[in-house]
């Protein structure tokens, strides 16, 4: 594997209508792979710069030569992930940021022309590569799971009627797993696209006065990709299994459990209202 095993990319989106109507100023600048931020309370202060593996300037529009399109993001990040998966490694990508920052757009994107996000593009290329394969000795299988973590409960998005809370268990050989999570076999990109669509519709999206659509759950889309090589001479088979995990996290402004009254426990200086959280507070003390 080349270079570092963890890469960090940052992306900035265009203003939305509310920001435009308030004549907001853009305090982010990008140059190469570094991002700098201006202090709006003190514009004379020098901007602070941070280096990342990738800094994606998507604040303007495709006409701007500096603009980072969905395609560009996929080519940099998604393609490499797929390559590693074919080599037999497990890969994972997290999208982190506040509600409305554009996580779901980057991960899933939209159905319109050239607005597909990382996940659909990755799945599409996965099947292209599988179908392009001419080697008789190789055979492939693809299975997907899609789950949501909301209010400390795990829900199967591919089987939302299963109202039960799925338990997370550990098996000595299989490792950690979610009990009874659907794992569906798919044979084409359209299969995956349909499942993703159905799963997305089942996700919990709620509206309050403060946010139009506030995404309150974490969603984990997992592709289990198995490559079997059958050696005709020796008549032996070898198998490589890789897991591709694609995670769309809930709005980071409420990092831990979301939704339920009084069960939040953020890292910040928040106070939990209900005595049902006494246990968590004591646990935190015991860990000091």
Partner 1 sequence: MANVPWAEVCEKFQAALALSRVELHKNPEKEPYKSKYSARALLEEVKALLGPAPEDEDERPEAEDGPGAGDHALGLPAEVVEPEGPVAQRAVRLAVIEFHLGVNHIDTEELSAGEEHLVKCLRLLRRYRLSHDCISLCIQAQNNLGILWSEREEIETAQAYLESSEALYNQYMKEKLTEQERSKRFEKVYTHNLYYLAQVYQHLEMFEKAAHYCHSTLKRQLEHNAYHPIEWAINAATLSQFYINKLCFMEARHCLSAANVIFGQTGKISATEDTPEAEGEVPELYHQRKGEIARCWIKYCLTLMQNAQLSMQDNIGELDLDKQSELRALRKKELDEEESIRKKAVQFGTGELCDAISAVEEKVSYLRPLDFEEARELFLLGQHYVFEAKEFFQIDGYVTDHIEVVQDHSALFKVLAFFETDMERRCKMHKRRIAMLEPLTVDLNPQYYLLVNRQIQFEIAHAYYDMMDLKVAIADRLRDPDSHIVKKINNLNKSALKYYQLFLDSLRDPNKVFPEHIGEDVLRPAMLAKFRVARLYGKIITADPKKELENLATSLEHYKFIVDYCEKHPEAAQEIEVELELSKEMVSLLPTKMERFRTKMALT
The answer to whether 104 is a known ligand-binding residue is: yes
HSE-CB for 238 with a 13 A CA cutoff: 4
Q: How far is the CB of 159 from partner 1 (least distance, A)?
A: 17
Distance of CA 42 to the CA centre of its chain: 34
Q: How far is the CB of 208 from partner 1 (least distance, A)?
A: 5
User: Do 107 and 11 touch, CB atoms closer than 8 A?
Assistant: no
Nearer to partner 1, 113 or 170 (CB): 170
Whose CA is closest to 258, among 211, 196, 199? Answer: 211
Q: Does 3 sit near partner 1 (CB under 8 A)?
A: no
Nearer to partner 1, 55 or 159 (CB): 159
Q: Does 22 sit near partner 1 (CB under 8 A)?
A: no
Beta carbons within 8 Å of 137's beta carbon, 6+ residues apart? 229, 230, 231, 232
Q: Does 162 sit near partner 1 (CB under 8 A)?
A: no
Q: How far is the CB of 226 from partner 1 (least distance, A)?
A: 16
Compute the C-alpha angle 93/122/61, nearest 5°. Answer: 85
Q: How far is the CB of 176 from partner 1 (least distance, A)?
A: 7
Q: Does 273 sit near partner 1 (CB under 8 A)?
A: yes
Q: Does 66 sit near partner 1 (CB under 8 A)?
A: no
Please list the active-site residues.
100, 102-105, 248, 251
Phi, psi of 57 (to 5 degrees): -90, 100
Rounded to the nearest 10 degrees, the angle between the axes of helix 118-132 and helix 189-202 is: 160
Positions in the binding site for partner 1 (CB under 8 A): 151, 169-176, 204-210, 259-261, 268-276, 278-279, 281-286, 288
């Amino acid at each position: 594997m080349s270079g570092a095993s963890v890469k960090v990319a940052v992306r900035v989106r265009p203003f939305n209508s509310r920001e435009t109507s308030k004549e907001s100023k853009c305090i982010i600048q990008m140059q190469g792979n570094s991002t700098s931020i201006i202090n709006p309370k003190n514009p004379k202060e020098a901007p602070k710069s941070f280096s990342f593996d990738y800094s994606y300037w998507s604040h303007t529009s495709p006409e701007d030569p500096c603009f980072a399109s969905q395609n560009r993001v996929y080519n940099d990040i998604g393609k490499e992930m797929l390559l590693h998966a074919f080599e037999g490694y497990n890969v994972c990508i997290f999208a982190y940021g506040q509600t409305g920052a554009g996580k779901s757009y980057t991960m899933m994107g939209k159905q319109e022309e050239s607005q597909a996000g990382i996940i659909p593009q990755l799945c599409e290329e996965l099947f292209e590569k599988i179908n392009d394969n001419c080697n008789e000795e190789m055979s492939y299988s693809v299975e997907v799971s899609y789950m949501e973590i909301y209010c400390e409960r795990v829900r199967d998005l591919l089987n939302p009627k299963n109202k039960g809370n799925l338990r997370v268990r550990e098996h000595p050989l299989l490792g950690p797993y979610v009990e009874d999570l659907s794992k569906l076999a798919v044979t084409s990109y359209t299969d995956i696209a349909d499942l993703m669509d159905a799963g997305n519709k089942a996700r919990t999206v709620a509206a309050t006065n403060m946010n139009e659509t506030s995404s309150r759950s974490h969603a984990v889309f997992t592709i289990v990709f198995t490559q079997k090589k059958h050696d005709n001479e020796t008549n032996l088979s070898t198998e490589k299994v890789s897991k591709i995990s694609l995670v769309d996290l809930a709005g980071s402004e409420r990092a831990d459990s979301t939704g339920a009254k009084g069960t939040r426990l953020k890292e910040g200086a928040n106070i939990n209202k209900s005595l049902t959280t006494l246990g968590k507070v004591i646990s935190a003390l015991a860990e000091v």
